[in-house]
Structure 1
């Protein structure tokens, strides 16, 4: 793994410190979230139809979404900044591949240009300072084959500008769905669908989901 920036190191250290507790915190399971399951299923069906290559879940944490994607028939592996999270994922899902790495430097875990059919960022860009997010989108576009699919899950700002909030682990950001889709478009993605849902019991914020297709040719 390449040397981490100060922001990455702070985020990794924060998750390392709470990884075991975080993995045990009560939260809605995907089995009780039909809209979330529908988005993941739509992503999986799109990737399988394109047959463009394997899938990575970036910011995979202890691995439940990576495992769900496997169960949906995808060739998938997970990447996370936190070594403790990756250790938990490997222990829980020993049949899956998990790597310590940064979602803006996937070459460090062996991902070549255009080498993937899909990227899933399931609430994992939320800690990224807004000015840094274009770099992440550029990396997602680099690793995706033309026609590959990017799925973003995030906290939606409900009509407000980009807004920082007190996430349990580290400062995070809520995004207007149109602004996030616009940044993705600038990086070479075309929106194919979106889903917004209201908070469930125990959740504070509206949830946003974007499905995006990597445009043909290399990103600028």
Structure 2
């Protein structure tokens, strides 16, 4: 299964990943500040795919209360060195939280590790655990298809990626009950020459799915 292979990969590369990704990309901080500005004061945040804790530590430094979940025990062990909040081993397709538990969800470069057929299920779970009008920050890779890569952070391991066009990603978000507030494209080639472009979205959870999904905000 993809999830089992990805768990093994990230357990293997956890220490190298933590060391090599310690510096937050500038675009993440820009998205993060806009994300936080959309949340009511005191909102609790769930980071889906918290990895080694870099982003969660930044969110905590902004004064927020954050819970982190990740599939990899090795990555969670690295995160515990950086963060104060709870860290839980969890599959994003099965979020073990009650409905409307969080005001915001931060999901950076995580959903892309699911096959496209399974991503809507994960987004539906994120929608479920968000309060009405809660905010999702999502970043995925731009492109087409699904691929396995054979090296990561100096290790001969396999990593799965699903890549999306902006239009397909917006349709997927709408289908899960999200209203896209803004989207942007960032090219990370200057920082990491072999890396692809990224698509970032801020989206608001619409009402429960009882008809036509919300779609996209008017501009």
Common fold by TM > 0.5:
yes
Count of aligned positions? 203
Deviation, 1:114, is: 1.1
Instruction: Indicate the RMSD between aligned Cα atoms, in angstroms.
Output: 1.9
Corresponding position of 1:29 = 23
Match of 2:35, SS state, is helix
Matched, 1:213 2:204: yes
> Does structure 2 conserve the Cα–Cα contact (< 8 Å) formed by 1:142 and 1:218?
no
TM-score (norm 2): 0.85
In the alignment, what sits opposite 1:182?
171
Residues 126-205 of structure 1 aligned to structure 2 (within 5 Å): 126-157=112-143, 161-164=144-147, 166=149, 168=152, 169-199=158-188, 200-203=190-193, 204-205=195-196
Tell me, yes or no, if the aligned pair for 2:2 and 2:160 is still in contact at 8 Å.
no
Tell me by how many angstroms 1:58 deviates.
Answer: 0.8
State the Cα deviation string for residues 144-170 of structure 1 (Å, max 9, x = none). Answer: 11100011111111xxx3342526251
Higher helix share: 1
Change (3 A) 1:123 1:133: same
- How big is each residue's C-alpha offset from its partner over 1:149-205, in whole Å with a ceiling of 9 and x where there is no partner? 011111111xxx334252625121221111011111011100001121122232421
What's the TM-score once normalised by structure 1's chain length? 0.85
- Which whole-Å deviations, capped at 9, do the CAs of 1:61-105 have from their partners, x for residues lacking one? 110101111122221111001111111111232x22211111111
Report SS of the residue matched to 2:56. Answer: helix
Q: 1:9 aligns with which of 1, 4, 18?
A: 4
Change (3 A) 1:28 1:178: farther
